[in-house]
A and B are shown apart, each in its own frame.
Chain A
Amino acid sequence: MRARALALSILSSAAVLTVGWQLGTQGQTPTVPDATATTTTTAPNGGSMSSAAAAPAPTPTAAGSSASATAPASDSASGTFTGTSVQTRFGPVQVQITVANGSITDVTALQLTDKDQRSVSISNRAAPVLRQEVLAAQSANVQGVSGATYTSDGYLSSLQSALDQAGL
């Protein structure tokens, strides 16, 4: 290749790559639902968004989307913002963030479906809860109880047997 062609190619390629790299690093805004977020995730309600496959969405793909999602801009920004649909390995995924005074207070996963068209919440995390009261089986109005498996002998003294007796 001629020297000029080579130089032009290297220059233009480097320029293009730099632009891409810049865009890539800029796209990293904290709008990603991930384990380190201190916000709690609200339960997904009847998804009004289009369904698609779900996923263990690797956080960076959501980061990629935030380049196109509306990010919280100024300090006085508040409200709920819905990101554009992001493609993950299993299909499009969409997140919604709630912003108050410029910081993100909530991240909601919109309803999605997994490969078998079942609804899955994108960010299913177990968060701490407290017991409100000590529940007794009878007052809780349950028909069955689940604890670690009991043996046939253990059954006799178990809550289940009490419930079964009551039902019989």
Chain B
Amino acid sequence: MGVHVFDTMGTMVSLRFAGSTAPASVLDEVEEAFRVFDERFSLYRPDSEISRMARGELPLTRASAELREAYADAFDWSRSTGGTFTPHRPDGVIDLSGTVKAKAMEAAARVLESSGETDWMLVAGGDILTRGDLGGPPWRAGIVDPDDRGALLCAVELVGRHTALATSGTAERGEHIWRTGDPRSPQRYRQVTVLADDIVTADVLATALVAGGPDRCPELIDRFDIEAITVDYAGHLTATPGLQSARGLTPI
């Protein structure tokens, strides 16, 4: 196995290959893919296009086509998740961080595929995207226990059509999901992990499920082709049928 690690978008990306690591040119292209998104969409960079928009220096109508497209796409997600996912902060500023990292991962995936890499796992700040397998056995991902960062809740196989995994919650970066009501009420979700067939769906739905909570969970899970594991503030876990027997879990 070969592993390549680099930092981008304020986090670390790990790229693991089943065989040997890809050539440097490919790795450079992968890093470049992330950098392009970062430069345009990072709210932490004062000179990014989105920061300029947040300050009011750039109206949406004069933004680049890529930004407007990303905005429109985020809007579509907002509609199809019934508003639980939203590309706006409560103060109205456009915040596309919910989809940008995933889109960057997809761009990186395209780079890898066109370079002929068939078996790899891309981990970007907790979002996982895989292709192929580990030369036989499938790629496996663990879901971190929000109460004990050194332990796992369970381990999931990334096989078949569900090869993208994303977790959303408040454990690491604090309260970044905008939702109303008492964030500490026991029924609300503390962390949600979503397994889907593409990383943008996984990321958006993970965020939507945390924001919407148990009330909106059934409709979201029903409407999209995903598996999910939720953890609430009381420490209770729920899982969809496909994950109920994941390693470390047992149905009640």
Check if B1 sits within 8 Å of A127, measured CB to CB: no
* Chain B 146-184 residues near chain A, CB threshold 8 A: 146, 148-155, 161, 165-173
Residues of A within 8 A of B249 (CB): 129-132
Q: Mark A139-158, 1 if CB is under 8 A from B, else 0.
A: 01111111111111011011
Contact indicator B244/A135 (Cβ below 8 Å): no
By beta carbon, the residue of chain B nearest A54 is B225
Taking the nearest CB of chain A, how far is it from the CB of B220, in angstroms?
Answer: 10
Asked whether A143 lies within 8 Å of B121 as measured between CB atoms, the reply is: yes
A7 on the B face (CB < 8 A)? no
Within 8 Å of chain B (Cβ to Cβ): is A20? no
Question: How many angstroms between the C-alpha atoms of A42 and B146 in the bound complex?
Answer: 28
Interface size class of A (residues with CB under 8 A): 35 or more
A105 at the B interface (CB under 8 A): no
Asked if A145 meets B225 with Cβ closer than 8 Å, knowing A121-B241, A164-B14, the reply is no
Contact A125 B248 (CB under 8 A): no
Which residues of chain B have C-beta atoms less than 8 A from A150's C-beta?
Answer: 11-12, 125-126, 172-173
Q: Is the interface of B mostly helix, strand, loop or mixed?
A: strand
- Let me know if A146 and B121 touch, CB within 8 A: no
List of A residues within 8 angstroms of B153 by Cβ = 131, 135
Q: Which of A109-128 contact B (CB under 8 A)?
A: 114, 118-121, 123-128
* Also in contact, A127 and B251, with CB within 8 A (given A159-B149, A164-B5): yes
Collect the chain B residues with CB atoms within 8 Å of residue A118's CB.
161, 197, 225
Choose the segment among B47-55, B60-68, B69-77, B136-144 that binds chain A (4+ C-beta atoms closer than 8 Å).
B136-144
The answer to whether B12 touches A135, judged by C-beta atoms less than 8 angstroms apart, is: no
In the complex, A134 Cα to B1 Cα: how many Å?
27
Closest to B227 in A: A124
A125 touches B218 (CB 8 A): yes
Residue of B nearest to A146 (CB): B167
Contact A129 B169, beta carbon cutoff 8 Å: no
Contacting residues, chain A, for B226 (C-beta < 8 A): 124
- Min distance, Cβ A157 to any Cβ of chain B, angstroms: 8
Please tell me if the beta carbons of A141 and B16 are within 8 angstroms of each other in the complex.
Answer: no
Q: Looking at the complex, which one of A35, A128, A163 makes contact with B238 (CB distance below 8 Å)?
A: A128
- Chain A residue, CB-CB nearest to B173: A149
Q: Provide a sorted-by-A list of 22 A–B residue pairs whose CB atoms are within 8 angstroms.
A: A35-B218, A124-B221, A125-B221, A127-B241, A127-B251, A131-B154, A135-B151, A135-B155, A136-B152, A140-B152, A144-B141, A145-B143, A146-B123, A146-B166, A146-B193, A147-B149, A147-B191, A150-B12, A150-B125, A151-B10, A152-B10, A168-B2
Using a CB–CB distance below 8 Å, which chain B residues touch chain A?
1-3, 5, 7, 10-12, 14, 16, 101, 121, 123, 125-128, 134, 139-146, 148-155, 161, 165-173, 191, 193, 197, 217-219, 221-223, 225-230, 236-242, 244, 247-252
